[in-house]
Structures are given as C-alpha cells and as structure tokens.
A = this chain, B = another copy of it.
Amino acid sequence: MLDLAILGLLHEQELHGYEIRRRLRDELGLFANISFGSLYPALSRLEASGAVAVAESTGPATVAVPMPSTGSISGDRAGLRARRAGTPRGTKRSRKVYRLTDQGRDLFEQLLDAEEPVGTDDARSFGLRLAFARHLAPQARLSLLERRRGQLTRRLATDRVRAAGQSLDVYTRSLAEHSTEATQHDIAWLDRLIESERQKQAVLRSETGGPRSGKSMTAVKGTNP
C-alpha cells in the first residue's frame, strides 16, 4: 500500500524520501505520520525491484553519484562540496532523489487498478486510490467508487446490528450510532461522486459516439480547477 503511494507521488516528479513523507502528510492527508522505518525500506525495496531509480543526488552536473555501494555516510561530503560550489537552491544533506522507471510506471498502474481482496475494508486504501484516480480509465474509476460503496453498504448493515444491540452502555452505544451516521455520510458522498462520474462519461460518449439521450437529472457538483 505504501508502495502505491510512493509510486503515485513519483509519477508527477522526482522526489527524495523526506519530501515524500511531507507530501503524504500535508498534501494527501493519508498516512498521517508514516514512519521512516517504513518509508526508507520501502524505497530500497522499490529500487531493488527496479521500479524506481536514484536520480542524480542534488548536485551541480559535475558531481557524480557518490558510490554504487550504499555507504552513503561518506556521501555528505559530496553534498557539502556541491553546496559550496554554488548550488542555487538550499541543498541540504546529500539527498537521494528517486525517479520512476518505466517498470515502476507499469507497477503503479497495476497496483492502482487492482481490486483489493474482498475482506479489505480500508478507508486508507480507498483514499489513496481516489487521490490517484485521475490516472485511471473512466470505467476503472467508476468501478473503484462502486466497489467502495459496496464495502460501506456492507459495513452499514453490521453497524446497525451493533447499534441495535441491547447490552451496550451509553458510551458504546453512542460510538455505534456515530459510526453508523459516519458511514451513511460516506455513502452519500460516494453517491455524489458516482453521479458526477456518470455525467462525465455520458458527456464523453455523446461527444465521441454521437448524441445520445442522456437523462441528466442532477447538476454535476464537482468542478475542475
């Protein structure tokens, strides 16, 4: 799951580990505080599998990559030299900037498009996929939304059973009721997204395949900046 997040961010531009963490936290809002003990090994794995590659560690074009062996502790010397040599931007300690390879691009699409196993009911997994939904084909995007809706509907059923339980104290009951409401709210949101997607696809079809009778009952709320 973290792999997908990393590949997705690198899809846009080259990034180093620390910056990936920052974006995950500040921009995506997923993985509120992903651990470095998780991030760096993930990057190493992806590098070993050929999905990402180290792209020129921030230096002026003169400095070569320190050494093939990952004894990067001695690499900061090169970073220092690079900075003194007049690098315009604030080059910190020698960064390892990663870029996506063609193989990584394939892996990204494969991971993004894959249906998570049925038992999975993870808001994170969906949120991550939605954040990269623009890279999905319209049909796959719709499938993602509908799959998630199914998950939530199933959860709503069990939530209601739980909230109807008799042996609950005030707090547990309130928790169950609130959970039910939150799930309903999520479903309503998804319904808006799904409707919006259907509208978009109807427009696309009518543009490419000739005018068809599109029953547009609701205004499309989402606006593209």
A133 within 8 A of B: yes
Distance, CA A171 to CA B173, complexed state (A): 33
Name the distance in Å between A180's Cβ and chain B's nearest Cβ: 10
A165 within 8 A of B: yes
Q: Is the CB of B29 within 8 A of A167?
A: no
Distance, CA A169 to CA B193, complexed state (A): 13
Could you say which of A94-102, A107-115, A181-189 contacts chain B? Answer: A181-189
A65 within 8 A of B: no
Q: Is the CB of B169 within 8 A of A28?
A: no
Q: Is the CB of A27 within 8 A of B175?
A: no
Q: Is the CB of B171 within 8 A of A181?
A: no
Q: Is the CB of A222 within 8 A of B130?
A: no
A105 within 8 A of B: no
Q: Which of A165, A171, A185, A223 has the most CB of B within 10 A?
A: A171
Interface of A is mostly: helix
Cβ contacts under 8 Å, A28 to chain B: 172
A1 within 8 A of B: no
Give residues in A with beta carbon < 8 Å to B.
Answer: 26-29, 32-33, 70-71, 119, 121, 127, 130-131, 133-134, 158-159, 161-162, 165-176, 178-179, 181-182, 185-186, 189, 193, 222-225
Listed A/B pairs (22) with beta-carbon separation below 8 Å: A26-B161, A26-B162, A27-B162, A27-B165, A29-B158, A29-B159, A29-B179, A71-B167, A127-B175, A130-B172, A130-B175, A131-B175, A134-B171, A169-B225, A170-B222, A170-B224, A170-B225, A173-B222, A174-B193, A181-B185, A181-B189, A185-B185
